[in-house]
């Protein structure tokens, strides 16, 4: 048997063929052995859990003071969660009482132990915005609000005008030097291509959980080795056709990165932490396994992307969100346990993103429609947890936070501020934040304060 890694080495060293793109393979040799000397304190990871479809944050966390809960219950009607079902917590700052959705028991527990926080009413913005300004129309707002595709991209890019890069990739651009001489990409998605991870220089890696890392059908015979060399050489041919080059580049990165990862994972013990056998469980398990071999990869900074879909609850929201939150909470709970098992709980911060929030007012089908600012969860040992950051919206139709009359919250914390808080903790220098979040200077604070 010969592994693809060995064949790639063959490609680098033998045959007299020109394998330019493989020159950056940089197999971990003696230089990378110093990685083992790195302490856990040198390691930081961000884990984005993207909730596709637009999660209804209004039922993720509910204010429990009498006036707020009454307003919530009155407007939500049949979608109001019973106060007795909510999992109570108290915000450290100000002592306001809130209740988490009943399926978020792990989140409640982590909030209580100071390892989870909520950031209230976060969303896409170009600059701070009031209801009057929005309704007046004579101001700059993100393009195509309430549209899934546009808002998904803006949550990943931080800007309306797409230039093909995401804020996670731009963060990676600025911290990549910390990973040198490791060659594994700073950004890894276990949920397919994600614009979040595309940087100016950064090209994200992907892994398909449950699928083999290496190409099948190569068994180390001379004929197989010649075929592998030919496959690699075909990827380097200049066809002059942009889409062909894109396809070749994609597969080259796949071959290179999975060879690196395969070698790092080789012989790693299985995690003791059991993960749920859901899609999001398998994704977070895969991420934990990669974090486990961070030293073998020589990584000091990593950003991960995973996702859970199905949050577009226009109909029968209560049942759908119950099921989705149960999956999410169980997988997140297992992931936190795994970070503890690996001794990196202080070094790993998980955060949620989603297209948008949903209307506080229900529609005719026991569901809700597309809205704007939402509440998001951050989890990890470095989080200054047990608190609700930002400003919780006033739950009133047509109230000061409503973009219209159905409870679509105009964000009071920009995604840029949320992301910049994560990026600053991760190691992006203050001077580099403008590269990552071009609109950040439009907002009064660049740090929301939920990370130390």
Partner 1 sequence: MRPIRLTVLTVCALAALRAQNSPTVTPGAAARFLDQAAWGATPADIAHLQQVGFDAWLNEQFAMPPSAIPDVPDPIKSLNSVRQQFFVNAVSGRDQLRQRVAFALGEIWVVSNVKLKSPAIPPYLRLLSDRAFGNYFDLMNAVTLSPAMGHYLDMVNNDKPADGQEANENYARELNQLFTIGTVLLNPDGTVQTDGSGRPVPAYDQSVVQAFARAFTGWTYAPLPGAQPRRHNPPNWDAPMVAVEANHDENAKALLNGQTLPAGQTAEQDLHQALEIVFQHPNVGPFVCQQLIQHLVTSNPSPAYVQRVAAVFANNGSGVRGDLKAVIRAILLDQEARSGDPPAVPAANEGHLREPAFYVPALLRGLGASVAVDNTLPQFIAKQGQTLYAPPSVFSYFSPGYRIADGKLLGPEFQIQSPSVSMLRADMVNALVNGGIKGVTFDQTPFTSLAAMPDSLLDYLSALLFHGQMPDDMRATIKTAMAAAPTGAMKARAAIYLAASSSQYQVER
According to the binding rule CB under 8 A, does residue 29 interact with partner 1?
no
Q: Pick one of 18, 180, 226, 268: the residue that binds partner 1 (CB under 8 A).
A: 226
Is 88 or 164 the residue whose CB approaches partner 1 more closely? 164
Name which of 334, 327, 336 is nearest 380 in CA terms.
336
Q: Pick one of 361, 412, 413, 424: the residue that binds partner 1 (CB under 8 A).
A: 361
Q: Pick one of 64, 251, 282, 326: the residue that binds partner 1 (CB under 8 A).
A: 251
According to the binding rule CB under 8 A, does residue 135 interact with partner 1?
no
Is 240 or 343 the residue whose CB approaches partner 1 more closely? 240
> Helical H runs in 266-314?
279-292, 294-297
Residues near partner 1 (CB under 8 A), total: 78
Judged by CB under 8 A, which stretch of 218-226, 265-273, 334-342, 418-426 contacts partner 1? 218-226
Name which of 267, 275, 260, 158 is nearest 207 in CA terms.
260
Question: By CB neighbour count within 10 A (0-12 exposed, 13-18 middle, 19+ buried), where does 350 fall?
Answer: buried
DSSP letter for 404, please. S
Q: Pick one of 34, 66, 130, 193: the residue that binds partner 1 (CB under 8 A).
A: 193
Give CA–CA dist 42/291, Å, rounded. 13
Q: Minimum Å distance from CB 388 to partner 1?
A: 27
State which of positions 261-300 bind partner 1 (CB under 8 A): none
Name which of 182, 251, 162, 292 is nearest 172 in CA terms.
182
State which of positions 141-160 bind partner 1 (CB under 8 A): 143-150
Q: Pick one of 33, 67, 180, 223: the residue that binds partner 1 (CB under 8 A).
A: 223
According to the binding rule CB under 8 A, does residue 162 interact with partner 1?
yes
Question: What is the biggest distance separating any 2 CA atoms in the chain, rounded to whole angstroms?
Answer: 77
Contacts of 358 (CB under 8 A, 6+ apart): 54, 55, 56, 57, 58, 313, 317, 368, 369, 370, 371
According to the binding rule CB under 8 A, does residue 370 interact with partner 1?
yes
Q: Pick one of 34, 139, 163, 430: the residue that binds partner 1 (CB under 8 A).
A: 163
Is 146 or 435 the residue whose CB approaches partner 1 more closely? 146
End-to-end Cα separation, the chain, in angstroms: 49
According to the binding rule CB under 8 A, does residue 1 interact with partner 1?
no
Name which of 259, 201, 323, 303 is nearest 10 in CA terms.
259
Inter-residue contact 422 to 46 (CB < 8 Å): yes
* Sign of the CA dihedral running 433, 439, 441, 443: negative
DSSP letter for 204, please. -
Q: Can you say how many angstroms the Cα of residue 184 is from the centroid of all Cα atoms in its chain?
A: 18
Q: Minimum Å distance from CB 435 to partner 1?
A: 16
Is 223 or 429 the residue whose CB approaches partner 1 more closely? 223
* Sign of the CA dihedral running 302, 113, 329, 377: negative
Q: Minimum Å distance from CB 448 to partner 1?
A: 28
Is 29 or 364 the residue whose CB approaches partner 1 more closely? 364
Name which of 281, 305, 291, 307 is nearest 189 in CA terms.
305
Q: Minimum Å distance from CB 141 to partner 1?
A: 10
According to the binding rule CB under 8 A, does residue 206 interact with partner 1?
yes
Binding mask 377-416 for partner 1 (x = CB under 8 A): ---------------------------x-x----------
Q: Pick one of 29, 132, 138, 211: the residue that binds partner 1 (CB under 8 A).
A: 211
Give CA–CA dist 47/40, Å, rounded. 17
Q: Minimum Å distance from CB 424 to partner 1?
A: 26
Judged by CB under 8 A, which stretch of 65-73, 118-126, 217-225, 412-420 contacts partner 1? 217-225
Q: Pick one of 212, 269, 343, 444: the residue that binds partner 1 (CB under 8 A).
A: 212
According to the binding rule CB under 8 A, does residue 255 interact with partner 1?
yes
According to the binding rule CB under 8 A, does residue 222 interact with partner 1?
yes
């Amino acid at each position: 048997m010969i592994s693809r890694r060995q064949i790639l080495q063959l490609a680098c060293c033998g045959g007299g063929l020109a394998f330019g793109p493989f020159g950056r393979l940089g197999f971990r040799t003696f230089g990378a052995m110093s990685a083992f000397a790195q302490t856990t304190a040198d390691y930081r990871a961000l884990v984005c859990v993207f909730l596709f479809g637009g999660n209804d944050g209004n039922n993720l966390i509910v204010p429990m003071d009498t006036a707020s809960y009454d307003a919530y219950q009155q407007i939500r009607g049949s979608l109001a969660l019973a106060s007795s079902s909510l999992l109570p917590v108290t915000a450290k700052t100000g002592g306001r009482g809130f209740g988490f959705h009943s399926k978020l028991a792990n989140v409640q527990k982590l909030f209580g132990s100071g390892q989870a926080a909520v950031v209230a009413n976060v969303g896409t913005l170009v600059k701070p915005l009031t209801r009057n300004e929005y309704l007046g129309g004579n101001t700059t707002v993100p393009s195509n609000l309430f549209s899934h595709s546009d808002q998904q991209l803006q949550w990943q890019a931080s800007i309306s005008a797409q230039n093909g890069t995401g804020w996670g990739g731009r963060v990676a651009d600025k911290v990549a030097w910390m990973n040198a001489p490791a060659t594994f990409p700073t950004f890894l998605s276990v949920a397919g291509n994600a614009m979040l991870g595309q940087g100016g220089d950064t090209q994200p890696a992907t892994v398909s959980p449950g699928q083999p890392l290496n190409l099948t059908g190569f068994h180390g015979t001379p004929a197989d080795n010649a075929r592998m060399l030919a496959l690699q050489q075909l990827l380097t041919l200049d066809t002059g056709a942009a889409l062909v080059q894109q396809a070749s580049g994609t597969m080259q990165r796949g071959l290179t990165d999975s060879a690196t990862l395969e070698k790092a994972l080789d012989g790693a013990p299985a995690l003791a932490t059991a993960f749920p056998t859901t899609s999001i469980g398998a994704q977070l398990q895969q991420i934990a396994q990669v974090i486990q071999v961070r030293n073998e990869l020589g990584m000091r900074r990593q950003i991960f992307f995973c996702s859970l879909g199905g949050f577009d609850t226009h109909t029968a929201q209560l049942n759908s969100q119950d099921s989705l939150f149960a999956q999410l909470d169980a997988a997140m709970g297992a992931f936190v346990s795994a970070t503890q098992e690996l001794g990196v709980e202080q070094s790993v911060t998980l955060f949620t993103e989603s297209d948008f929030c949903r209307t506080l007012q229900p529609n005719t089908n026991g569901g809700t429609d597309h809205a704007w600012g939402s509440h998001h969860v951050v989890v990890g040992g470095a989080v200054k947890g047990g608190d609700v950051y930002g400003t919780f919206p006033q739950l009133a139709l047509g109230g000061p936070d409503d973009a219209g009359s159905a409870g679509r919250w105009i964000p009071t914390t920009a995604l840029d501020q949320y992301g910049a808080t994560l990026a600053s903790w991760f190691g992006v220098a203050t001077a580099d934040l403008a590269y990552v979040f071009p609109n950040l200077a439009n907002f009064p604070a660049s740090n929301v304060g939920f990370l130390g």
